[in-house]
Amino acid sequence: MQHRVLLFSLLISFAAISSAEVFFEERFEDGWEIHWVKSDWKRSAGLAGNWLHTAGQWHGDPDDKGIQTYPDARYFAISAQFPEFSNKNRTLVIQYSVKHEQKIECGGGYVKLLSGYVNQKKFSGDTPYSIMFGPDICGTQTKKIHAILQYKSQNYPITKEVQCENDQLTHVYTFIIRPDASYSILVDNRERESGSLYSDWELLPPRKIKPTETKKPEDWDDREYIIDPNDKKPADYDSTLAEIPDPDATKPDDWDEDEDGEWRPPKVPNPAYKGPWKPKKIKNPAYKGKWKLQWIDNPEFEDDPDLYVFPALKYFGIELWQVKAGSLFDNILICDDPAYAKQMAEETWGVNRDVEKEAFEESEKRRQEEDERHAAAARAERDRRKGSRDYDDHQSHKARIRDRMKKKYRHGYDDDDDDYHDEL
């Protein structure tokens, strides 16, 4: 019975995933170039980059290839067309992987979705887009995930700072936009940020705004308790002493009043003393609660139920500038089912990540050993040159002494010049 339940659950899961609609998927297998158009942007100036079809220097599967930027200090622009669609009334999922083998110092690793007609041969940084998503790294300050949405011909970046990965391994980036205007950003199938298009982008004016009057009204009573006006201090309250003579104390037998003075019993706390009088407090009948700034409806806010909609999506593009090339893009997916996207990530990146990490660590080990060999050879060469210079300097010194001695002989040898012979 248990096996039947498990099988039934698996069938339901498979049916749910198989119902996903895939709008575009690219694994960069042989023949990939048929679907892609390389832009001529910056080509006439000699600044257009190229794309290598490769699995990279380290990988989990040599047959799992992507496209990699090269050479350094270039602009890269490439795009692919797919059947036009709109995400109205459905979830939109954008997913891809990128690996920065070059240990990127300044450059992007993001992608774009474009709508309407695009001249792909002229695709550039100035081409309007609907969504821009993915990592951007530059120096130590910029290490973030872009999530820029186009709304009414304006581009709006996410207002949150979402951190990206900056190592040299493959990472999967996923952007999910739902019909309720909620979103999620995932890295390696783990949610890194989530929220609403209303709150995390400035697409619309805020629903609520501060009122012009932000001070607490003078008649606002925020005292929860007040002194009871009917509570009066008893007339004899202050006559009760805080301390009284100890009634149990007795004068010691050896007390000598002539020497010790008059004996007085020590004082102890008075059990009848109630402390300083304080009036009772009662609930304030005029209490209005703690005052808070009351935000008001923004008259300029007008809701848009289609805020999440991107009509006429038609192109997937990669457009970026890199000082140091070497970013490898792969496993691109645009669909309407986050579960399907998650499964695809596990079937590609997930099964290869451990092997790739081992290959990277082995590559790093070889690189460090090579660096150490070069460093040792450089040190040996410096020592050789230093030894050669020391020998040359010694020979030059001896030659100078011989010249000085010759001059002495020509003018007559002096016994005081024996130090010249010693130096030689």
Q: What is the pLDDT of residues 9-54, one digit of tens each?
A: 444 444 545 688 999 999 999 999 999 999 999 999 999 999 999 9
**What is the share, in percent, of the chain residues with pLDDT greater than 70?**
90
Confidence of residue 354 (pLDDT cuts 50, 70, 90): very high
> Among residues 114, 111, 113, 95, which one has the least CA distance to residue 340?
95
**395 HSE (CA, 13 A, CB side):** 6
Whether 142 contacts 161, CB under 8 Å? no
Question: CB burial class (10 A; 0-12, 13-18, 19+) of residue 317?
Answer: buried
For tokens 């950003």, name the residue: 185
- As a whole-number percent, the residues of the chain with pLDDT over 90 amount to 57
User: pTM for the full model?
Assistant: 0.72
Q: Rounded CA gap, 342 and 146, in Å?
A: 20
The residue extents of the domains of the chain are 19-200+310-351, 371-423
CATH of the domain spanning 19-200+310-351: 2.60.120.200
- Whether residue 6 is predicted with pLDDT greater than 70 in this model: the reply is no
Question: b/e string for 135-172 if b means 16 or more Cβ within 10 A?
Answer: bbbeeeeebbbbbbbbbeeeebebeeeeebbbebbbbb
Helix, strand or coil, per DSSP, at residue 292: coil
